[in-house]
Structure 1
Amino acid sequence: MANAIEQKLQSAVLRGVFALPAPLRRVLAGSAIRLDDQELALDAQLLLKLQKLSGQEGLAASTPEAARTAMSDAPTSGGPQLPGVVVAERTIPAEHGTLPARLYRPRELTETGPLMVFLHGGGWVIGDIDTHDDLCRFLAKHAGIRVLSVDYRLAPEHRFPAAFDDALAAYRWAVDNAAELGSSADAIAIGGDSAGGNLAASVSLHATRNGMQKPVFQLLLYPATDATVRRRSREIFGNGGFLLTDHDMTWFMDHYEPEVDNRGDVRLSPLLADDHAELPTAYIVTCGFDPLRDEGEAYAKALADAGVPVVARRFADLIHGFANLRPVSHRFEEALFEIVGTTRAALQLTKR
């Protein structure tokens, strides 16, 4: 209880800082940061400055448990819940037991419609349905769809391909139980952010190549798509203090798949698949100041080159993980409104 109260107080203070006039926020943030012909958004820079002052610059920690606690207790996730969304807990059967899940529905949505299976980010090591509760509420409410958020097993307790196996089981269950979830088997989409975007892309690839009902649409927010190559964006932004660091990425991957020779498996590196044809329509979001930027954009190009309908959108002024930072900043929320608007339109166009 004490931790929850402290988190809410810190969240209120943080929102107060971001409500200051822009000139004052600029003074606090410092001179504008320009890199790779891009300028970092003021609010992103201010958030990074505040995190640095608090002693936190990345997502990794001394132990996975400590990193999970830090993410759960972050003041950026301590604000009031978004209203107008009906939430119900679900349990998904899996070979090893069950997976906790949470079903979100806009209060006014009563008819059958699209459902998105959503897989949270966190490097396959941290994060859960609670850390991504605000994002899923926002997506459900403003895209006008049902969202099924899934808690998959985390590394290092459960290494690759455990998270993939759970994501696939959750997607399969959603297809098989679509009617009970308020949808239909041919209207199930899949989405995720960061590591969750990786899982969503990998499940889409597997479903398409193995004769399953493939997702009608895939929403990939700054996804990891290739664990075998260090691209230019990782070299430029990995050590600049832009939330996700080069050390974080190594730390996450070493926990999830320590065997380097296995990292080219398409269940972990979907960009390396021999064929990307006939994959689901994709909306791939990247951020200018993100070490993962270039592999996300390489994946968008691979899909487009294979004839898959793709919308690739780079938010040049933003950082990795901004979708979870919506409660504190208008700029992050503005970007999310664009994302849900595009998602809503894409799902309307894919109706059968």
Structure 2
Amino acid sequence: MSKPLDPIPSHLRTRAQGAALRRVLALPQPVLRRIAGAPIRIDGQELALEAQALLRMQGLAGRAQLSADTVEKARTAMREATKIIGDTAVAGVETTAEHIPTASGGIDARLYRPETLTASSALMVFYHGGGWVLGDLDSYDGLCRMLAKHAGIRVLSVDYRLAPESPFPAALDDALDGYRYALDHAEKLGTTPDSLLVGGDSAGGNLAAAVAQHATASDIKKPVLQALLYPAVDASTRRRSRELFGEGFLLTDADMDWFMDHYQPDSSLRGDPRLSVLLAEDLSGLPPAYVATAGFDPLRDEGEEYVRRLREVGVPVAARRFTDLMHGFLNLHAAGGRFQEALFEIIGSIRTGLALRG
């Protein structure tokens, strides 16, 4: 009797899935179009072919949304997706574990430094996305390595507490503590208090904007730049983009309700400007901002409304709508093609913003 085959180790299965996905997305465009289906055009925009093909494959694999029956299932699914899509090494970046003391007992952080960078440099305090419920240092490790290596800066990724175990304002409190830690330990981290910027995507963009607002309104040194990548900035209002793109583009309408119900369950308090940063009365004096939005994103319109409000009070803003991409495209950079191209454009814009500060 023949011996049954041993199961394939999970790490090898993950690598194989990631390699297969990248091979599919690298197929000639006519072949990829047959996989993706007819072009999707909404609101005068056409979804990138690679994005459409990836969404089609995710749908076929049963990964059509970010939320789940339980928080742990959603977190597990995100970790698995990160390993599949982002299972490519980014060489030439050194990491150091950091621990940030907080009133709640302390949080972890990870410092990224390009190996060729030995002198003092700018440092981005980075906050990951995931609706304040998902995400961690490992799920954003690849993106932080890319930011550090190609922007030529150090990056401090802050592992803030997540909801529902720690609802609003726990994540913001940790984000502020992470920024203060970078200020207070600037020399140790390889930077100066005059060379800090804040950045993040989605919920992390929300935290970065809130930290910039708090620093500007208080007596601590404000960041020199804020990089807000398809940020969530208003939990109080449904805008047109949420109606247009609330189904089928990775971040769904149901996901957004699920995230907010965990982070701030009391709907009457969602207009708090510490959460809905768009509603802050005074945005004047904030640091220059780079704001990236995605065309097929439920958050598109609120992010672009924040751009308008910043400009109205004279805050320098460089805004870019990636009309052919959807929410979360930065997490897909390892798939290459259009996703990586967009990331490199964002990195170039951050480099330019830092260079222009003089």
Q: Map Cα deviations across residues 198-241 of structure 1 (whole Å, 9 max, x no partner).
A: 000001101111121111100000000000000000010002x0
Q: Map Cα deviations across residues 314-346 of structure 1 (whole Å, 9 max, x no partner).
A: 000000000010011310100111100010010
Equivalent position of 1:278 in the other structure:
285
Counterparts of 2:10 and 2:261 in 1: how far apart (Å)? 30
Equivalent position of 1:190 in the other structure:
198
Kindly state the Cα deviation for residue 268 of structure 1 after the two structures are TM-superposed: 0.3
**Secondary structure class of the residue paired with 1:94:** coil
Kindly state the Cα deviation for residue 80 of structure 1 after the two structures are TM-superposed: 2.1
Q: Say if 1:38 and 1:76 are closer, same or farther in 2 by CA, change over 3 A.
A: farther
Equivalent position of 1:42 in the other structure:
49
Counterparts of 1:132 and 1:23 in 2: how far apart (Å)? 32
Q: 2:76 aligns with which of 47, 53, 69?
A: 69
Paired residue type of 1:295: E
Equivalent position of 1:156 in the other structure:
164
1:252 and 2:259 correspond:
yes
1:79 and 2:81 correspond:
no
Counterparts of 2:85 and 2:208 in 1: how far apart (Å)? 23
Kindly state the Cα deviation for residue 95 of structure 1 after the two structures are TM-superposed: 0.9
**Secondary structure class of the residue paired with 1:105:** strand
Kindly state the Cα deviation for residue 288 of structure 1 after the two structures are TM-superposed: 0.3
Kindly state the Cα deviation for residue 3 of structure 1 after the two structures are TM-superposed: 2.8
**Secondary structure class of the residue paired with 2:272:** coil
1:120 and 2:128 correspond:
yes
1:3 and 2:25 correspond:
no
Query: Are the equivalent residues in 1 in contact too, given 2:287–2:315 (CA < 8 A)?
Result: yes
TM-score (structure 2 length as normaliser)? 0.96
Q: How does 1:154-303 map to 2 (within 5 A)?
A: 154-239=162-247, 241-303=248-310
Query: Are the equivalent residues in 2 in contact too, given 1:164–1:202 (CA < 8 A)?
Result: yes
Kindly state the Cα deviation for residue 189 of structure 1 after the two structures are TM-superposed: 0.4
Kindly state the Cα deviation for residue 78 of structure 1 after the two structures are TM-superposed: 4.2
Paired residue type of 2:227: L
Query: Are the equivalent residues in 1 in contact too, given 2:15–2:84 (CA < 8 A)?
Result: no
Counterparts of 1:145 and 1:102 in 2: how far apart (Å)? 14
Kindly state the Cα deviation for residue 76 of structure 1 after the two structures are TM-superposed: 4.0
Counterparts of 1:104 and 1:3 in 2: how far apart (Å)? 27
**Secondary structure class of the residue paired with 1:189:** strand
Paired residue type of 1:263: R
**Secondary structure class of the residue paired with 2:186:** coil
Q: Highest Rg: 1 or 2?
A: 2
Percent identity, aligned pairs only, is 59
Counterparts of 1:3 and 1:270 in 2: how far apart (Å)? 41
Counterparts of 1:4 and 1:193 in 2: how far apart (Å)? 27
- Unaligned 5+ residue runs, structure 2? 1-7
Counterparts of 1:304 and 1:211 in 2: how far apart (Å)? 24
1:93 and 2:101 correspond:
yes
Kindly state the Cα deviation for residue 106 of structure 1 after the two structures are TM-superposed: 1.1
Counterparts of 1:2 and 1:68 in 2: how far apart (Å)? 21
**Secondary structure class of the residue paired with 2:168:** coil
Query: Are the equivalent residues in 2 in contact too, given 1:76–1:325 (CA < 8 A)?
Result: no
Counterparts of 1:327 and 1:105 in 2: how far apart (Å)? 20
Paired residue type of 1:100: D
Paired residue type of 2:347: V
1:30 and 2:41 correspond:
no
**Secondary structure class of the residue paired with 1:73:** helix
Query: Are the equivalent residues in 2 in contact too, given 1:7–1:78 (CA < 8 A)?
Result: no
Kindly state the Cα deviation for residue 2 of structure 1 after the two structures are TM-superposed: 3.2
Counterparts of 2:223 and 2:10 in 1: how far apart (Å)? 39
Kindly state the Cα deviation for residue 99 of structure 1 after the two structures are TM-superposed: 1.0
Query: Are the equivalent residues in 2 in contact too, given 1:90–1:102 (CA < 8 A)?
Result: yes
Q: 2:318 aligns with which of 311, 314, 317?
A: 311
TM-score (structure 1 length as normaliser)? 0.98
Counterparts of 1:202 and 1:3 in 2: how far apart (Å)? 39
Decide which moves more: 258-267 or 156-165.
Answer: 258-267
Q: Map Cα deviations across residues 118-175 of structure 1 (whole Å, 9 max, x no partner).
A: 0000000001111111110111011110000110000000000000000000001101
Decide which moves more: 81-90 or 171-180.
Answer: 81-90
Equivalent position of 1:21 in the other structure:
28
